[in-house]
Amino acid sequence: MTLPTLPGHPHVHYQDQALHLDRIPARQLAQEFGTPLFVYSKAAMLDALAAYQRGFAGRRAQICYAMKANSSLAVLQLFAEAGCGFDIVSGGELARVRAAGADLGKVIFSGVGKTRAEMRMALEAGIGCFNVESEAELEVLNQVACELGVQAPVSIRVNPNVDAKTHPYISTGLKGNKFGVAHDHALAAYQRAASLPGLRVVGIDCHIGSQITQTTPYLDAMDRILDLVEAIEQAGIPIHHIDFGGGLGIDYNGDTPPKADELWQQLLSRLDARGFGQRLLMIEPGRSLVGNAGICLTEVLYLKPGEQKNFCIIDAAMNDLPRPAMYEAYHAIVPVQAKGDQAPSRYDVVGPVCESGDWIGRDRELAVAQGDLLAVLSAGAYCMSMASNYNTRGRPAEVLVDDKGAHLVRRRESVEDTFALETLLPAAVR
Ligand SMILES: *Cc1c(COP(=O)(O)O)cnc(C)c1O
């Protein structure tokens, strides 16, 4: 019999036809912790990080994990202990990295809509850099810093106007996009920043999109940014670090993104050729550090054969795994126990939520029965961090596996948890 192949998932494999994450049988995890369940491999995350670290060997570089991809405290703790900084996009994320024990000096703060309260919180925490996304934000950050009597370290996010060749919802580096300052306005924005007493220019950054599977968009963005660095420095404003953002893709469905170390070999030779190889470099990878380190275990509740389609109804739904509904994204779905003796049928794999958009996989060949367990792969990034309570569904538990076993790092949300913040109207207003 042929077992499903799991390319891009070196930490997920079959042994005696049973799916394992590292050395732990998936069935055992589902029995112990229930379903739906997110399970992450510590080794897979550290291996993904190591590829970047190899790529930057001998260079001055800071890896800032873009924590919105997976903001579980245990995951943050793991990366903090491995020396990572963090790219945050809200005051809430700042509180999370603090709770995880991060070095706040290695935190950079991205996002188009930082509030004054968030700026104050980040200045008081002493973060490493604000990645400013508009001229208006420069003015407000300057005011907030002056009120506190400090200088805010700033980088301006430049929109290099390159096509990352990815899904429109996850492309961020083209004109007509809400992110960053247009390339043509960047020099003027730097001159303004340098003139403001509450700001200290430290760097420049860009981030062109997500799930990028080619090298060319990175090379194009790099050239555009380096052109700007030259112009800004000619205007007398030194740029200490250059931050190339995140965005490197993973293998969801036979995708072939460059490996992190090979990508950076190419990017570093371009940097060297242009005389920037010894600068402090920063990157903000998210998905590529965690995406293929996680799976979601789920149980088949019902099989529902139909005239046009067969449905496989599972206990995980769009509130747990929002990417298919949001981006029509593909996640591989594989059996926890492979059954070679049963002919597969074609199913749409759907959740219990009352929406036609609640599908997890379409037209999948599966040999399944009611009560079987399935694993949704590539579920380490932008799944649990985007999960909601829609349909009053408690969010799944999260488990991290390492060589010592399986550790519950977030308990399953109870129904009571989902309405704990609500109150009934008092009698007087009824
Ligand atoms: C989301 C985001 C990232 C990470 O993107 P990935 O595709 O997950 O690597 C990096 N930088 C910024 C500013 C982001 O918004």
DSSP state letters, 322-374: -HHHHH-----EEESB--TTS--EEEEEE-SSSSTT-EEEEEEEE---TT-EE
Q: What is the distance in A from the centroid of ligand 1 to the CA of 292?
A: 16
Q: What is the distance in A from the centroid of ligand 1 to the CA of 30?
A: 31
206 is catalytic: no
**What are the tokens at 182?**
């247009």
At 169 the pLDDT is 62
What residues does ligand 1 touch, defined as CB less than 6 Å away?
A: 66, 68-69, 87, 110, 207, 210, 245-248, 284-288
**207, 282, 290, 378: residue to mutate for ligand 1 pocket, most atoms within 8 A of CB:** 207
Residue with tokens 């550290």: 46
At 60 the pLDDT is 97
Q: What is the distance in A from the centroid of ligand 1 to the CA of 425?
A: 41
Q: How far apart are CA 319 and CA 260, in angstroms?
A: 31
Residue with tokens 């005696």: 16
Q: How far apart are CA 193 and CA 138, in angstroms?
A: 7
Domains of the chain: 12-41+291-418 (2.40.37.10), 110-285 (3.20.20.10)
- Ligand 1 atom showing the smallest separation from residue 205 Cα: 13
At 331 the pLDDT is 98
At 429 the pLDDT is 81
At 179 the pLDDT is 87
At 201 the pLDDT is 98
At 161 the pLDDT is 86
At 170 the pLDDT is 65
Q: What is the distance in A from the centroid of ligand 1 to the CA of 330?
A: 19
Contact between 250 and 257 (Cβ < 8 Å): yes
Provide the β-strand partners of residue 282: 62, 243
| DSSP secondary structure letter of residue 171 | B
At 178 the pLDDT is 83
**Active-site residue identified among 296, 312, 354, 383:** 354
Contact between 185 and 223 (Cβ < 8 Å): no
For 215-242, what is each residue's pLDDT tens digit?
999 999 999 999 999 999 999 999 999 9
**108, 156, 172, 210: residue to mutate for ligand 1 pocket, most atoms within 8 A of CB:** 210
Give the residue ranges of the chain where pLDDT is below 50: 1
